[in-house]
Amino acid sequence: MESLKIILVSLKRNKGKSAFIVFQLALCSLLMLFFLGQTEKSFVIYNKTSTAIVDNLFQGLCDNLFDNSKYSEFAGNIEGKQSSSGGFNNRNLKDVYNILSKDNRVKSIGRTSVGMPSTKDTDTNTIKIKGRNLELVCLDEGAINLFNYKVVKGQNFREYFKNNKEDGTIPILVGSQIEEKNSLGSIVEIPECVDKNNNPYKCKIIGVLDPKQPLKEDDAQENGLNFKGSVVVSSKLIHDFLVDSSGSRSDFQNIYFTLKNDKDIEDIKEELNLKIPDSFVYIKNLGEEIKYYTEMEKKHLSSISDIVAMVILATFGIMGISLSTLRKRKKEIGIRYSLGCSKKNIVLMLLGENLILYILSIGVVSIAMYLISKVFSGIIIDGWVIGITLGIMAAFMIISILPLVVKLMKLKPIELLRPKE
């Protein structure tokens, strides 16, 4: 306890240099935690997304075309066709669905859509949400079996349809914030979701989505965290949207399917482009896409070397400050030595000072980043992230104080008491 008091008094006496060291360490820790937190977020999303879909799930996409004999490498080469920039073609996507749904090589197929209905409706039957943002993910009967929705309350779609009979309502899953204002089992209406007779669909809340499990569906892949859990997943395509300026509308935006034999995918892709000549049809293997982005994140992880380089520079700065402080404190150390304090105890005292500065800077930054991660969904600060940061900073802490220890151990008692030149 006495040693701790001595260390704290010494730090207070040299508060200017102590504050500078803390600032350097805190800045390095902050950058490292932020970088690792972003990387961890990506890994978590990709890993969990892979569990949110069935194995070997394909997505069919359709773009407008312009004439060209060569194609971009991203879209793939098909003679006489090239995808235009961002020209989503929903009209021909319907043709893709009709062709695939009749193809006996296709094992299962489903359609989905994602929308943001207006929440200005004040009708008492309308679903109640916090704020103004509502993300609606709609699936048809086929898509229900292609996605693994996890719930923390109630039942998911597969369980519900297995155990319940049709009652005229449309089963829906909701995010945690919606469940706070709409109880499980309640019947609600969703804005802009009406049938052909303009009557609102009656939707029944059957389960609450697991907020830690992403949805692999466009902007909802993070389970609507951008809207703090204001997500609804419908078991029917109940929300249509404007397709083009002609007023044409559609109730789906995406096609997902699995094959009996995955080796047929190239033949299917080629046949689709021949049957739909005015569009470019391309197919993504979602499992392979997730693996690709995961590998890219692993390569991106090597960029931490830039931050490590910054930590090394800070370490050299701390070395210089420590050695400079030692020269100025020779007399103080000499007096302690003459009063019976061993070099070992003096070394432990100086080590204690540096250790407190490291713990203070890293501790404050870790707590701050953890709190930020609870508000900002772009990063995850967990034990893995904090552990790596502490490990790297601890290694450089040892490196930064080694010259101080060596210098001190080499000093002779007479040199410690010698007046300053």
84 vs 352: which has the higher pLDDT: 352
Q: What is the mean pLDDT of the chain?
A: 75
Grade residue 222 by pLDDT with cuts at 50, 70 and 90: very low
- Give pLDDT, residue 377: 63
Grade residue 351 by pLDDT with cuts at 50, 70 and 90: confident
252-to-60, 65, 90, 97, 102 alpha-carbon distances in Å: 12, 21, 8, 10, 18
Grade residue 223 by pLDDT with cuts at 50, 70 and 90: very low
- Give pLDDT, residue 278: 77
**Residue where a domain stops, chosen among 254, 289, 312:** 254
* Surface-to-core class of residue 343, CB atoms within 10 Å of its CB (0-12 exposed, 13-18 middle, 19+ buried): middle
**Residue 335 CB neighbours (<10 A):** 12
Are both 133 and 224 inside the same structural domain?
Answer: yes
Count CA within 13 A, CB hemisphere, residue 290.
Answer: 22
Most confidently predicted of 38-52, 56-70, 257-271: 257-271
**Residue where a domain stops, chosen among 237, 254, 271:** 254
Residue 18 has pLDDT above 50, yes or no: yes
d(CA 237, CA 252): 7
Tell me the β-bridge partners of 231: 135
- Give pLDDT, residue 9: 64
The answer to whether residue 378 sits within a structural domain is yes
Mean pLDDT along residues 374-400 = 76
Classify residue 212 by its DSSP letter: T
Are both 30 and 138 inside the same structural domain?
Answer: no
Domain residue limits at 136 = 120-254
Structural domains in the chain (count): 2
Sign for the pseudo-dihedral over CA of 64, 70, 71, 72: negative
Tell me the β-bridge partners of 69: none
pTM of the complete model: 0.67
Are both 33 and 152 inside the same structural domain?
Answer: no
The answer to whether residue 98 sits within a structural domain is no
**Residue where a domain stops, chosen among 222, 254, 286:** 254
Are both 21 and 126 inside the same structural domain?
Answer: no
Are both 248 and 317 inside the same structural domain?
Answer: no
Share of the chain above pLDDT 70, in %: 71
321 vs 216: which has the higher pLDDT: 321
88 vs 276: which has the higher pLDDT: 276
Mean pLDDT along residues 278-282 = 82
Grade residue 111 by pLDDT with cuts at 50, 70 and 90: very high
67-71, 206-210, 213-217, 394-398: the lowest-pLDDT one = 67-71
- Give pLDDT, residue 255: 92
Most confidently predicted of 17-21, 230-234, 375-379, 388-392: 230-234
For residue 290, give every residue at least 6 positions away whose Cβ sits within 8 Å of its Cβ, in sequence order, or none: 46, 49, 50
112-121, 178-187, 295-304, 350-359: the lowest-pLDDT one = 295-304
- Give pLDDT, residue 386: 77
Residue 204: what are its φ and ψ, rounded to 5°?
-115, 125
Are both 130 and 242 inside the same structural domain?
Answer: yes
The answer to whether residue 353 sits within a structural domain is yes
- Give pLDDT, residue 300: 67
32 vs 68: which has the higher pLDDT: 32
The answer to whether residue 146 sits within a structural domain is yes
The answer to whether residue 218 sits within a structural domain is yes
Q: 189 and 202 in contact (C-beta within 8 Å)?
A: yes
Q: For 287-328, what is each residue's pLDDT tens digit? A: 888 777 777 777 766 666 766 777 777 777 777 766 666 666
For residue 118, give every residue at least 6 positions away whose Cβ sits within 8 Å of its Cβ, in sequence order, or none: 191, 192
Are both 250 and 307 inside the same structural domain?
Answer: no
Residue 167 has pLDDT above 50, yes or no: yes
Mean pLDDT along residues 393-415 = 73
How distant is the alpha carbon of residue 368 from its chain centre? 19
**Residue 237 CB neighbours (<10 A):** 20
Mean pLDDT along residues 346-375 = 74
Locate tokens 């892949």: which residue? 221
Residue type, 163: N
The answer to whether residue 89 sits within a structural domain is no
- Give pLDDT, residue 128: 84
135 vs 41: which has the higher pLDDT: 135
Most confidently predicted of 101-115, 213-227, 304-318: 101-115
